Every structure is written in C-alpha cells, then in structure tokens.
Amino acid sequence: MHCYENLINYLSCGMILTGLGHLVLHKTTQTSYGRHMGPSPPARTVPARLAWFLQEMPALLIPLFLIFTSQNSSSMGKYLLLGTFCLHYFQRTFVYSPRTRGRPFPLGVMVAGGLICSLNGFLQGCYLLHCAQFDHEWSADYRYKTGLLLFYTGMAINIHSDCILRNLRKPNEIVYKIPTGGLFEYVSGANYLGEIVEWFGYAVATWSLPTLSFAMFSLCFIGPRAYYHHRFYQEKFKDYPKFRKALIPFIF
Ligand SMILES: NC(=O)c1ccc[n+]([C@@H]2O[C@H](COP(=O)([O-])OP(=O)(O)OC[C@H]3O[C@@H](n4cnc5c(N)ncnc54)[C@H](OP(=O)(O)O)[C@@H]3O)[C@@H](O)[C@H]2O)c1
C-alpha cells in the first residue's frame, strides 16, 4: 500500500488537537465515566467488561488486518507494531477488559472511545507499515533502545497498578478505597502514569509524529484525570496520605 503522507499528517495533527480540545473543555469536569459520572447515572449504559472489550478491540484488529494484508512493508515497522502497539491492545482487550470490576459505562463514552481507538489503530498501522523508514542500524540506535525500555517499564507499571485497583473491590462491589502499594505510594494516578510513560516511550522508539500525537493525546486525556482522582481521594478520605502527589512523584 502507498504511504498517504498528507492523510497521516492530518490525522496526527487531529489527534493532538483532539487531546488539547479535551483538555480545554474538561478544565473543571472529567469525561463522565467511573467516579466522575455524577449523581444521576446516564440513561444508556453498557456493562464495564463489555464496554472496555468493544471499545479497545478495534485498536488491535485494525493494525493486525493491515499487517496481514500488506505486502512489501518494512519488517522493523511490523516488529514495532506487533511488539508494542498490538501487545498493549491485546492486554487491554483480552486481559484487562474481562477482569475489570468497574461500574457500568455510558454508551456514548464507549462509542467515542471506540472511534478514537479505531482511528488510532489505523493511523499507527498505516504509518509504521507504509510510511516509516527504519534503516538497518535503527535497532542499535539509543532512541530505539531507550524508547522500548520506557514502553515496557510503563506497561509493567500500568498493568500492576490496574491490578491493585481491581483487587480493592470484591466482585459486584462499587466502593472506592485508598490504593496502596507499587507507585500508588507516590501518586494517585499510578496506572495513568504508567500509560503515559508507555506511549512516550513508543514515540521515542519510533521517532515520529503519529506516535507522538497519541502520546500527547493520552497525556491530555488521562493527565487531568489523575489530578481529579487525586482531589476526589483528598476530599473523600481525611486520612489520605499527605505525601502522595497526583501524577508525577514528588512534583505534581
Ligand atoms: N491512552 C489513553 O488515552 C487512555 C484513556 C483512558 C484510559 N486509559 C487506560 O485504561 C485503564 C482504565 O482507565 P480508567 O480511567 O477507567 O482508570 P481508573 O479510573 O483508575 O479505574 C480503573 C478501574 O479501577 C476501579 N477503581 C479505580 N480507583 C478505585 C478505587 N480507589 N477503589 C476501587 N476501585 C477503583 C475503577 O472503577 P470505576 O470505573 O467504577 O471507577 C475501574 O474499574 C487505565 O490503565 C488507563 O491508563 C488510557
């Protein structure tokens, strides 16, 4: 397949602008799911497990479809797509989703999330398979090595932190407790911190605008969410650890 460079650039800029737009529009309130849903639940909801499964799956299926239908694409591009992006979304679709104990998800938020995942799966897949030019030395480049190290470190933090959160609840229980252990000892949004490190690592390893655009989007979407989670804990729990920050240990 041909590299549609203009399309890739437009989509990447669109991803960054969507993230920045979200940041501006949600200065005082957060996207309405989980604890930020407000007192009256939305009319149409989907069970959390199904919602996460349907929302995240396109980000796995679309790149896989592109990999198996494209010829003559770079093997480094394929490796980076399979080893990083698809691995993350395989975990999110088939491991995280069926185990979550979250409250039902608003249908509208699920559809919007599914659209972003589809668009991003297409963007990253097309870019890495058909546009990226990695020469033979790229696998020895310090950006590639550092980026992958960051990606896998972030992924480990994200999975471990999501696991801590899940274990705070018994099945069918909807309560919020103070998370402890791992990076939660330092920040309220440990799972978000892991995810942000992951996508910036991916951007460094691939050194490109499309991958940076998704890292920026993630930062704009879940960075403020970590801050609002932190405020929620401070207001709800009088004994919430004073030392703990919102997203960046010791700093913010
Ligand atoms: N890349 C991106 O742009 C992006 C965007 C969104 C999410 N994500 C990732 O998707 C995953 C889930 O995101 P999320 O926004 O749902 O995270 P979250 O608000 O931290 O919640 C994660 C799960 O743990 C539960 N939970 C959270 N805090 C709890 C507590 N103190 N006590 C008991 N249960 C608690 C939540 O239940 P409730 O749902 O009932 O609150 C939910 O099931 C994260 O790994 C995140 O990084 C990525």
Backbone phi, then psi, for 46, in 5-degree steps? -125, 140
What pLDDT score was predicted for residue 153? Answer: 98
With bands split at pLDDT 50, 70 and 90, how would you rate the model's confidence at 197?
A: very high
Q: Is the dihedral of CA 184, 187, 189, 195 positive or negative?
A: negative
The atom number, within ligand 1, closest to the CA of 199 reads 1
Ligand 1, residue 101: give the atom nearest the CA: 43
Mean pLDDT of 182-210: 98
The pLDDT of residue 70: 87
Ligand 1 mutation target, pool 191, 200, 202, 214, most atoms within 8 A of CB = 191
Say how far apart CA 225 and CA 236 lie, in whole Å: 16
Rounded to two decimals, the pTM is 0.97
Residues 121, 116, 90, 203, CA torsion sign: positive
pLDDT tens digits along 220-252: 999 999 999 999 999 999 999 999 999 999 999
CA distance from start to end of the chain? 44
Q: For a pLDDT cut of 90, what percent of the chain falls above it?
A: 87
Q: Does residue 49 have its Cβ closer than 6 Å to ligand 1? A: no
Q: Is the pLDDT of residue 39 over 90?
A: no
CA distance 165 to 71: 42
Q: Report the pLDDT value the prediction gives residue 240, as an integer from 0 to 100.
A: 98
